[in-house]
Amino acid sequence: MTAQPPPSPHETASAPATVRVALLGCGTVGTQVVRLLRRHSAEIAARVGAPVELVGIAVRSLDADRGPDVPADLLTTDAEALVRRADVVVELIGGTTTARDLVLEAIAGGAGVVTANKALLATHGPQLYAAADAAGVDLLYEAAVAGAVPVVRGVRESLAGDRVMRVLGIVNGTTNFILDEMTTGGHDFDVVLARAQELGYAEADPTADVEGHDAAAKAAILASLAFHTRVSLGDVDCEGITGVTAADIEAAREAGGVIKLLAIAERVEAGSRESVAVRVNPVILPDGHPLAGVRGAYNAVVVEAEAAGRLMFYGAGAGGAPTASAVLGDLVAAARHRGQGGRAPAESAYAELPIAGPEHVTSRRQIRLAVEDRPGVLAHLATTFAEHGVSIETVRQQAGDDEAATLAVVTHDAPESALRATISALRETPGVRELLSAYRVERA
Amino acid sequence: MTAQPPPSPHETASAPATVRVALLGCGTVGTQVVRLLRRHSAEIAARVGAPVELVGIAVRSLDADRGPDVPADLLTTDAEALVRRADVVVELIGGTTTARDLVLEAIAGGAGVVTANKALLATHGPQLYAAADAAGVDLLYEAAVAGAVPVVRGVRESLAGDRVMRVLGIVNGTTNFILDEMTTGGHDFDVVLARAQELGYAEADPTADVEGHDAAAKAAILASLAFHTRVSLGDVDCEGITGVTAADIEAAREAGGVIKLLAIAERVEAGSRESVAVRVNPVILPDGHPLAGVRGAYNAVVVEAEAAGRLMFYGAGAGGAPTASAVLGDLVAAARHRGQGGRAPAESAYAELPIAGPEHVTSRRQIRLAVEDRPGVLAHLATTFAEHGVSIETVRQQAGDDEAATLAVVTHDAPESALRATISALRETPGVRELLSAYRVERA
């Protein structure tokens, strides 16, 4: 006979009630969620403090082949009825109409919600957060920003006692892959894009990725979280990577850096009021910067906080299993709260900061110019910078050909308005043939 | 007249009760906690959902000068009385006796506890976790592992639905600083240690850092968390950096890598049972590894999980303000739970995995040998490796002098027992003058 362990003081006569989970959508991520839930059911139950049961999977068609991980008897086309039977609803159908209706219905019925739907949050976030708040239920979305990278929880919970000053991240794997390939192979954008499309790393219509729209949606979510204020997609100043050339990348490399597409959200002063500026644009990162080494389809987000200093969160930005891992982390939290009470920190917009336009941002630029290779040109250029109050950190002359030279000027920090005026004036400065590029440069 | 906003559905007639916080200890971190609590009181109240009031600061002497951030009227030498008046107790006094008694008293009184005391957890963790569990209160300790790096919350919450396979981290800033300086300057250990002591980066008695004991305590905490099992300091196989030479670092650099002191915890098979192996030792990291670029006093932890793949958490590993940021993140969580109900995920050891000794680990090694520079030596060596079933990935000959050469052999993955037998046999192999080093090598 084996001695029984003494009952824990919290143990009650009845077993804890099973937490019923409904899954809406069963594509790449959904299939992985089902697989992991089944495979790790004992561990998940231990972490939740109660058994977790997948009670149904809503799909559009019952006929599609979903492989051996998805039990056919859980499939249903009646998503609404399924939602009514669940304690936690995992929304993975995408889109903003049916998804919104089902999420609202789940919340109204008192269920916690986990979603990976960035578009839904960007479009209907405030309505959904308010509904979750009124019902006192969780609405969690770690998987909607940068896949498995646990930056949502990090910003919302780990930094809850700090003051975030700046967030900058590589949050789109497709563009990071393309820039990486351009850097490694020395090819131009079009060549690498075509290759990425062949390999399935870029969509047939790559607009959302290469124009920065996908990154902008994530930037809006991160900025809202980090600054406890409302930032929507339209507030993001957005520039993609279609204009990045092999020559630009080579020039960055010569200056000891790499070009990355960054989402940047920061506190700025605008008209003496503290404001938030959010942008997506290609930036030169010096090699020592923690984001400079983020390769291929990985994502990473640096958060600069007043007390913590610089933190970085790094991981797989997409993919079925990594995204499912993020979904399940949220699912365990929502299920635990259902069983044991409590609730994750709700969304908050108490800070109500105004959005500052790009003209209020301060930055450094690397300005590359094709100039005539004759005496006096540099003096003209230097005068143009000085007249606009922009001071120069370094000037480097790069390889040129017949009577032309390429100059790369890196400025000190300067207001965007002064930089724009300088760039306009440079085009008219004697000896300047062409303005080649004017990337922002981050500090290591 | 301004229109009043409509009352939120959760607003009640009475204001939420103030959460009373007691601070035990007021050194470098404590002073920063006080400063941040006062400076950000409005934001912290918004995140907690109730005002947070610092009701007292227990110190040993009332006379010490603590600067302008610490209000003298909050100081007391009666820590026990203070603990009884608090809803959340922040323990920053260090040590394992008084700290344990006060933490147990706080828990018994129903207060949530936040601590940065790694030694306390390493010594009395199980007793404290059990007490917190019995009382249903929080016991949070983000700041005890790697300062501001939010890896405790990441492993416990973000990966709650995943299965961690391996954790590897740079968790000691002093040794990372020393190895970094050795790498940059080409100096030997003793020279750099003396310099680090002068600069205040290393203690007068540097044993705990340079012998790896500090990293081992953190490794034990991380392993317990990641594998939901009990790992104590004595379970960690520990080797420090006192034996690392400038020549070792140069040899690693020639092979495209750097030497870092890593804490590594992983699942291994031992006698066909799943077990956990935990070690601290200097390792060669190839330049492409995310931890290879972690410089100076920064810390970073890579977590390899079954579904999420590789995640990394990076940030300041020590310092008053960064550590205070981590303390405050926990404080906000504990205060929120006091006001609104709920509790952070408790410690769990349900997996009850056995600890595997170092002989059960599989790894690659870079084995450097001083050998006679004559025909046949390489054949002898190759035979020795083959006889022990260790296969060779690369062999490189490095600069030698009169009739001697240095060979650097990198093996494929092999069981530790086979590697140890190979190393013993190599010392007896004809033509081998000396075994110079045998570092483990991680994969990019």
Which phi and psi (to 5°) does residue A255 adopt?
A: -85, 5
pLDDT over threshold 90, residue B438: yes
Spatial separation of the C-alpha atoms in residues A249 and A254, rounded to whole Å: 9
pLDDT over threshold 50, residue B4: no
Query: Is-contact B174 B196, C-beta < 8 A?
Result: yes
| pLDDT (0 to 100) of residue B400 | 65
Which amino acid does the sequence have at A345?
P
Q: What is the pLDDT of residues B232-290, one digit of tens each?
A: 999 999 999 999 999 999 999 998 999 999 999 999 998 889 999 999 999 999 998 99
SS3 per-residue string spanning A408-432: EEEECCEEHHHHHHHHHHHHCCCCE
DSSP A346: P
Spatial separation of the C-alpha atoms in residues A30 and A127, rounded to whole Å: 25
Among the options B218, B230, B338, B364, which is catalytic?
B218
Q: Where are the alpha helices (DSSP H) in B255-368?
A: 320-340
3-state secondary structure of B282: strand
Q: Report the gap between the CA of B299 and the closest CA in chain A (Å).
A: 10
Contact call for A149 and B321, based on CB within 8 A: no
| A411 assigned ligand-binding residue | no
Q: Confidence class of residue B15 from pLDDT cuts 50, 70 and 90?
A: low
| pLDDT (0 to 100) of residue A14 | 57
Which amino acid does the sequence have at B351?
A
Contact call for A308 and B327, based on CB within 8 A: no
Spatial separation of the C-alpha atoms in residues B355 and B323, rounded to whole Å: 31
Mean pLDDT across chain B: 92
What percent of chain B has a predicted confidence (pLDDT) above 90?
Answer: 84
Element (H, E) at B371: strand B362-372
Mean pLDDT across chain A: 92
Contact call for B333 and A162, based on CB within 8 A: no
Q: What angle do CA B184, B144, B61 make, to 5 degrees?
A: 105
| A27 assigned ligand-binding residue | yes
Q: Give CA torsion, residues B298, B304, B308, B313, to 10 deg.
A: -10
For residue A107 the two structure tokens come to 């919340």
Element (H, E) at A42: helix A41-48
Q: Confidence class of residue B14 from pLDDT cuts 50, 70 and 90?
A: low
Interface probe, candidates A40, A142, A158, chain B, greatest B C-beta count within 10 A:
A158
Q: Please name the residues in contact with B187: beta carbons below 8 A apart, sequence gap of 6 or more.
A: B181, B246
| pLDDT (0 to 100) of residue B34 | 97
| pLDDT (0 to 100) of residue A201 | 87
Q: Which of A300, A316, A348 sits opposite B308 (nearest CB)?
A: A316
Q: Report the gap between the CA of A282 and the closest CA in chain B (Å).
A: 22
Query: Is-contact A387 A425, C-beta < 8 A?
Result: yes
Chain A residues whose beta carbon lies within 8 Å of the beta carbon of residue B313: 154, 311-314
Q: Which of B163, B290, B325 sits opposite A162 (nearest CB)?
A: B325
Low-confidence residues of chain A, pLDDT below 50? 1-13
Beta strands of A222-361 (E only): which ranges?
Answer: 237-238, 257-270, 273-286, 298-305, 309-316
Q: How many CB pairs under 8 A join A and B?
A: 208
Please report how many Cα atoms fall inside a 13 Å half-sphere around the Cα of residue B134, on the Cβ side: 15
Spatial separation of the C-alpha atoms in residues B215 and B220, rounded to whole Å: 9
Q: What share of chain A is helix, strand, coil (3-state, %, to 5)?
A: 40, 25, 35
| pLDDT (0 to 100) of residue B374 | 86
| pLDDT (0 to 100) of residue B13 | 43
Chain A residues whose beta carbon lies within 8 Å of the beta carbon of residue B40: 161-163
Contact call for B324 and A341, based on CB within 8 A: no
Domains of chain A in sequence order: 19-148+322-340 (3.40.50.720), 151-315 (3.30.360.10), 361-441 (3.30.70.260)
Chain A residues whose beta carbon lies within 8 Å of the beta carbon of residue B340: 342-343
